Amino acid sequence: MEIYKDLSSPASQKFEELLNTQLSKNKIEEGKIIEGKVTKITNKYIFLFIPGLKSEPVIDVNEIKTMGMVDAVKEGSTISVLLEKIEDKNGDVVVSAQKAQKIKGWNKLVKCYENNELINGKITQKTKGGVIVEHIETGSLMFCPGSQISDKPVKNIDHLIGVEQKFALIKLDMVRGNSVVSRRQVVSSNKKEDKAKIIEKFKVGR
């Protein structure tokens, strides 16, 4: 490794050129979500291999625990991570699995919102003014106002907590990254459809 001590040497410049070529080839850019292969797992860290990077990025095990992915992460498996820095002041690669999950989840919600699609979620806890809803597919957390929990006032919602249900996305704040959902819209829509079916069934002459 003595040959690379002099950063101005032809060998060092050649290495830098090859590295940059590889980074470009694999479209490795800061701010992008990329896939990393798990090469080693310790009590504290998860080591990843990402083609094009000159060192192995690591993820804190606690980050994976927070995401609820401990059982899914094994040596040889892949994890989506946000590449925050190709090289920090210590020369390390900085990545985040949690931020990647949040971005992917947000992009999925935006797509559903634009297509006016219902999403699957479950109420996880009560909060001021409403409840927190977890998006089943991505794990993204959303807010459901108390007035949107049902089509009529509900004093006790304990029976709804942890139950997978359909929700309508009614507001997305892209600046703050917040999303608001409604169960009321879904319930009301279902009742209207049921009523229409009953009316249709009992039309004169049928």
The reported pLDDT for the residue numbered 201 is 52
Pairing of strands 130-135, 119-127: antiparallel
**What is the pLDDT averaged over residues 167-173?**
93
- Helix ranges, the chain (H): 10-25, 61-67, 97-114, 184-201
Q: Which residue has the higher pLDDT, 160 or 54?
A: 160
On the question of pLDDT at 133 being above 70, the answer is yes
Cα 149 to its chain centre, rounded Å, is: 24
- Which two tokens mark 43? 């009590």
On the question of pLDDT at 134 being above 60, the answer is yes
**Beta bridge pairs of residue 134:** 122, 141
**Do 2-97 and 118-201 have matching folds?**
yes
- Which two tokens mark 155? 């004093």
Written as one letter, the residue type at 125 is Q
Please, what is the average pLDDT of the chain?
A: 82
- The predicted-structure confidence for 17-32, as pLDDT tens digits, reads as follows 555 555 444 567 889 9
On the question of pLDDT at 131 being above 50, the answer is yes
On the question of pLDDT at 115 being above 60, the answer is yes
User: Is residue 77 within 8 Å of 36, Cβ to Cβ?
Assistant: no
Written as one letter, the residue type at 145 is P
Where are the domains positioned within the chain?
A: 2-97, 118-201
Question: 3-class SS at 59?
Answer: strand
The reported pLDDT for the residue numbered 5 is 46
Nearest to 65 by CA among 45, 95, 82, 40: 45
Question: What CATH class has 2-97?
Answer: mainly beta
**What is the pLDDT averaged over residues 54-83?**
89
- The predicted-structure confidence for 33-50, as pLDDT tens digits, reads as follows 999 999 999 999 999 999
On the question of pLDDT at 172 being above 50, the answer is yes
Nearest to 170 by CA among 147, 152, 201, 191: 147
Does domain 118-201 correspond to CATH entry 3.40.50.1820?
no
Q: Which residue has the tokens 């050129």?
A: 17
| Percent of the residues in the chain that have a pLDDT greater than 70, as a whole number | 79
DSSP structure class, residue 158: G
The reported pLDDT for the residue numbered 10 is 62
pTM (whole model) above 0.85: no
